[in-house]
Amino acid sequence: MGAPQRLAQRMTESYLRRLLRFTTDEGAEQSAGEEILLRLGGRPAIVLGEPGMGKSELLRQLGARPGFHYVTARKFLLRRPGDLPGEHG
């Protein structure tokens, strides 16, 4: 295994859990662990944060779970009907 692969493996092994702040449908502000995203029941989520805060890694980790898909904003915006999993053309 080369140096880039070892570094990537160490980064994956040292994944840090996050505390997320969010606004409920009723407008109340709350905080919860990232597992709250698992309970959205198929509803889309937008994750905002400063550069380097781990947004992409968080979404990659969630996207690796059954029933979830990691999609970048660019891919989402430029998609054609049927491009994304579960989307019909």
Render each residue's pLDDT in the chain as its tens digit; 89 residues. 676 666 666 655 666 677 888 888 899 998 888 888 878 776 777 788 888 888 888 888 888 888 788 888 888 888 887 777 666 65
Tokens coding 34: 């990232």
Q: Could you give the CA distance from residue 19 to residue 81 in angstroms, rounded to a whole number? A: 34
Q: Is 88 inside a domain boundary?
A: no
Q: Is 71 inside a domain boundary?
A: yes
Number of domains the chain contains: 1
Nearest CA among 80, 48, 51 for reference residue 59: 48
Q: Is 59 inside a domain boundary?
A: yes
Separation in Å, CA 17 to CA 43, 64, 67? 21, 16, 20
Q: Which domain holds residue 11?
A: 3-78
pTM reported for the whole predicted model: 0.56
What integer pLDDT is reported at residue 28 of this predicted model? 92
Q: Is 87 inside a domain boundary?
A: no
What integer pLDDT is reported at residue 29 of this predicted model? 92
What integer pLDDT is reported at residue 6 of this predicted model? 64
Q: Could you give the CA distance from residue 58 to residue 54 in angstroms, rounded to a whole number? A: 6
